[in-house]
Amino acid sequence: MATLRLFAQAREAAGTAKAEFDATTVGEVLDAAADEFGSDFVAILAGSKVWLNGDPATREQAVSGRDEVAVLPPVSGG
């Protein structure tokens, strides 16, 4: 199972900071999360950066049980 880590608004929309999904690609992890967490999460995911083990990720990249997919929404400051 790959671990999904959620930050900021993604964490708030999902109601959790961490989840695990049985998936073989980053895209499958994100699709499973979208199904589980709903439309608010999907809206935030659309504008977020996705990382795999600390590096920018594509949906096609393979994942295994030791991998961590992170969703980093844009942040505003001031």
Is residue 77 in a domain?
no
Please, what are the averages of pLDDT over each run of 10 residues along the chain (78 residues)?
97 98 98 98 97 98 96 78
- The dihedrals phi and psi of 5, each to the nearest 5 degrees, come to -110, 135
* Residue numbers of the domain that contains 56: 2-72
> What pLDDT is stored for residue 77 in this prediction?
57
Is residue 78 in a domain?
no
> Are 41 and 11 contacting, i.e. CB atoms less than 8 angstroms apart?
no
> What pLDDT is stored for residue 78 in this prediction?
54
For the chain, the domain total comes to 1
> What pLDDT is stored for residue 75 in this prediction?
77
Alpha-carbon distance 57 to 46, whole Å?
Answer: 14
Q: Say if residue 1 is exposed, middle or buried (CB neighbours under 10 Å; 0-12, 13-18, 19+).
A: middle
What counts of helices (H) and strands (E) characterise the chain? Answer: 3, 5
